[in-house]
Amino acid sequence: MPDHAAKTPTYAEFFCGGGMVRAALQDRWECVLANDIDAMKCKVYAQNWGQAALHQGDIAVLTDDLLTRQIDMYWASSPCQDFSLAGTGRGLGGARSGVFTHWADKIATAIKAGFAPRIIAFENVVGLVSRNGGADMNTVLATFVRLGYKVGALEIDARRFLPQSRPRLFVVCVREDIDISGLTVPKPSHVFHGKKLQKFLASASRPVRSNWVWWKLGDAPADEQALERVLERRATMPWFSAADTDRLLTLMSPPSLERLRVARKAGRTVVGTIYKRGRPDADGNVRQRAELRTDGIAGCLRTPAGGSSRQILMFIKGNQTKARLVSSREVARLMGLPDSYKMPDTYNNAYRVAGDGVAVPVVRYLDEVLFAPLLERQSLGAVA
């Protein structure tokens, strides 16, 4: 009989933010530890999930007694700015993304005390795969290998689950003594076994290649999302003035203007999204551009700290054009959070909680296709 079948599985979430992993796992898992250094995010977490498992503060100074107990899964959504194309790009050496080392040290502490988690899951931007020529990704995976884990990874874009383009890397590791027969495939064969991962693995270190697994996955949801379904029926954000809306049009590049032209001829209201970004012109000078997309998918929610602007909604019906910012409730819906989820009172904080979070239905999918099957498996020693 599987040794985990009789009890509710437990997990610890690090860099927990507003608790979106908890929103995904709450029906089947018990959170026994949640940690974040950000006071505002911890307040939001407590408002939604209570304070029983929450420990605010620097991960580096978490006391060992919090970790020296049996916890089935360690999850981390560590700061991504140093791996992101929209951020500073310093990789593991960056002050924020470098906290991965502290997290790995905490796992090592638990293992040394005899409490190795069955599963380790790590979420970050896809940029980690290629940052510093793949060296940072190799360091992350080699760390898990040295700790005694088989390693695998997935490239998952939340747009298959939500009307938001949000490509993310999900590293899923399992303790090397766990029987994973039937849960892997011999070669990449799924849409989430991305090209970037395949390229990385070809040049990864021998320990990483030797302990790599391609996880066997269920069918990916169809890419058929609609932005309109997350919009508020009555806008709570003020509309831009006509002058500000016209200025957005003047900032559009020819491709965005062409999308605008097509939308105006659609015979219905088309809802598009806009990010303002700096782009080089023909002379190499950086100019601010308003980049419009009208494919029914929002751009990736990001925080200002990541080097990006706030996202704008544009409503296009014939020659009539209106614009406003995405609301706090709408950004929550774009992350898969229910309307019962309590967002921060201020807009910037709400946007930061969402922009730094993880898409709820993606975590739920991983639980269904990977975490649950892994929890049912015995250790190889028990099988023998």
Assign domain 10-224+356-383 to its CATH superfamily.
Vaccinia Virus protein VP39 (3.40.50.150)
Predicted TM-score (pTM) of the model is 0.91
With a cut of 50, which residues of the chain have pLDDT below it?
Answer: 1-5, 80-89, 91, 94-97, 307, 383-384
Q: The dihedral of CA 192, 28, 338, 354: what is its sign? A: negative
What pLDDT sits at residue 92?
52
Strand order in the sheet with 54-56: 54-56, 30-36, 10-14, 73-76, 119-125, 167-175, 149-157
327: which 2 tokens? 């609301």
Asked whether 245 and 315 are in contact (CB, 8 A), the reply is no
80 as an active site residue: the answer is yes
What does residue 97 show for φ and ψ, rounded to 5 degrees? -70, -20
Question: Who's near 37: CB < 8 A, 6+ residues apart?
Answer: 56, 57, 58, 59
What pLDDT sits at residue 91?
45
Whole-number Å distance between alpha carbons of 74 and 123: 11
What pLDDT sits at residue 81?
45
What pLDDT sits at residue 378?
80
What pLDDT sits at residue 88?
44
Active-site residue, from 16, 31, 42, 80: 80
* Domain residue spans of the chain: 10-224+356-383, 237-326
Q: The dihedral of CA 149, 154, 160, 165: what is its sign? A: positive
Whole-number Å distance between alpha carbons of 136 and 65: 30
Whole-number Å distance between alpha carbons of 70 and 62: 16
Whole-number Å distance between alpha carbons of 64 and 166: 35
Chain centroid to CA 316? 30
What pLDDT sits at residue 146?
98
Whole-number Å distance between alpha carbons of 235 and 214: 44
The tally of CA atoms less than 13 A away on the side-chain side of residue 280 is 3
Q: The dihedral of CA 226, 170, 308, 196: what is its sign? A: negative
Chain centroid to CA 299? 14
Q: The dihedral of CA 299, 300, 303, 307: what is its sign? A: negative
